[in-house]
Amino acid sequence: MRRTGVLFIVFSFIIGLLGTAVYAAVPSKGVELECCSIIELVSNNGQIGAIRVSNDDNNLSVETYLWSDTMKILNYNVAVANVPSELPNSPGDTPKPGLYSISRTVTSDFTRQIDSFSYSNLNPDLIALAVFAKVQDENGQLITVWGRGVPMTDKNWPEYFEYSKRAGCPAIEVPPKTPTSPRTIGYWKTHAGFNGNNEDVVTQYLPITLGNVTVNTAAFAVEVLTFKSFEGGSSNGYNKLAAQLLAVKLNAINGADIAPIASTIIAADAALSSVNVSPWSVLTKAERSNILYLMSTLDEYNNSEF
């Protein structure tokens, strides 16, 4: 069950508060993970898919996909540059020498596009990307979609976003492997090396950040998954939210597709960042309901009910 109405209100409120910081620090609207970024693919009617940006030692990978199998990409454009000013003026324009721009008309029923770019001419510390496409929706109507980030005021791309190369990431698989199914908090806490003969499958995915807290050991992960992040145990909604968010991020790194709940993850991280300012004991009834709503949405995802 998807409760998009309430989520939109919560997400919009949080982004409104954090908008300036997002623009200044990381000009993108998405989820930052250890080996990839998940960027929202949006139209004028909201999010319809996602862009997964990742890298290995030598290449940058940009994977754009739609959530619905009844939609299809008809025309697709992606550009990569070292700074926003180096992006082509318009989708389909020729890039500056040594940089990249791809424009293609798609003749098959594609819901996914994958491109790989060499780092030989790119700055690994920070690059600018822009994605723009024409998509046929479920009703056969042509709609415009783009990667959500910072508005472009001097070029004809709607928005751009940025990405920093991550060290120690695995080689990029193209085409990608089939997404794994999400696992529950119960699975992760019993597969952290402290439960019978179950091997530790958690440590390989650490560190993971939850709000302002970094989970860097399997032992700490188990504390989070058993509602011990903050005082109050299971009676503290922040503890429940942290447990479900950690499981979601473990699932993402393990290969599960988190694009459908990307905005929920952003809202959950923002909520956990406010724990010291607004502890559970001082929250209003409405604020507590919002935290529990985020928690239950993540719980549904981790239990494959989303």
Per DSSP, the residues of the chain read ---HHHHHHHHHHHHHHHHHHHHHH--BSEEE-SSEEEEEEEETTEEEEEEEEEE-SSEEEEEEEES-TT-EEEEEEEEEESSGGGS-SSTTPPPPTT-EEEEEEEEEEESEEEEEEEGGGS-TT-EEEEEEEEEE-TTS-EEEEEE-BEE-SSSSSSEEEEE---TTPPPPPSSPPPPPPP--HHHHHTSSS-STT----SGGG--EEETTEEE-SHHHHHHHHTT-SSTTGGGSHHHHHHHHHHHHHHHHHTT---GGGHHHHHHHHHHHTTTTTS-GGG--HHHHHHHHHHHHHHHHHHTT--
Reported confidence tier of residue 16, pLDDT bands at 50, 70, 90: very low
Reported confidence tier of residue 23, pLDDT bands at 50, 70, 90: very low
Residue-number span of the structural domain to which 136 is assigned: 33-163
Output the pTM of the full model: 0.52
Q: What six digits make up the tokens of 182?
A: 């999400």
Sign of the torsion angle spanned by Cα atoms 269, 160, 172, 105: positive
158 and 57, same structural domain? yes
226 Cβ neighbours under 8 A, 6+ residues apart:
189, 243
CATH of the domain at 62: 2.60.40
DSSP output for 104-165: EEEEEEESEEEEEEEGGGS-TT-EEEEEEEEEE-TTS-EEEEEE-BEE-SSSSSSEEEEE--
Cα–Cα dist 11/18, whole Å: 11
Mean pLDDT of all residues in the chain? 81
Cα–Cα dist 58/72, whole Å: 30
Q: What is the pLDDT of residue 225?
A: 96
105 and 38, same structural domain? yes
191 and 158, same structural domain? no
Is residue 230 included in any domain, yes or no?
A: yes
Between 105 and 247, the more confident residue is: 247
Is residue 16 included in any domain, yes or no?
A: no
Furthest CA-CA distance within the chain = 60
Is residue 25 included in any domain, yes or no?
A: no
294 and 227, same structural domain? yes
Note whether 153 and 178 are within 8 A (CB).
no
Q: What is the pLDDT of residue 157?
A: 93
Q: What is the pLDDT of residue 168?
A: 72
Is residue 58 included in any domain, yes or no?
A: yes
Q: Which of 115, 131, 163 is the last residue of a domain?
A: 163
Cα–Cα dist 66/93, whole Å: 24
Q: What is the pLDDT of residue 109?
A: 59
Cα–Cα dist 226/294, whole Å: 18
Percent of the chain with pLDDT over 70: 84
Tens of pLDDT, residues 113-127? 888 888 988 988 889
235 and 143, same structural domain? no
Is residue 22 included in any domain, yes or no?
A: no
Q: What is the pLDDT of residue 20?
A: 29
235 and 121, same structural domain? no
Q: What is the pLDDT of residue 99?
A: 80
Q: What is the pLDDT of residue 159?
A: 94
Is residue 73 included in any domain, yes or no?
A: yes
284 and 209, same structural domain? yes
Cα–Cα dist 120/129, whole Å: 16
Tens of pLDDT, residues 42-58? 888 888 888 889 998 88
Q: What is the pLDDT of residue 107?
A: 54
Residue 82: is its pLDDT beyond 70?
yes
* Averaged pLDDT for residues 244-266: 86
154 and 38, same structural domain? yes
106 and 39, same structural domain? yes
Task: Please report how many Cα atoms fall inside a 13 Å half-sphere around the Cα of residue 89, on the Cβ side.
Answer: 0
Is residue 75 included in any domain, yes or no?
A: yes
Number of domains in the chain: 2
Residue 75: is its pLDDT beyond 90?
no
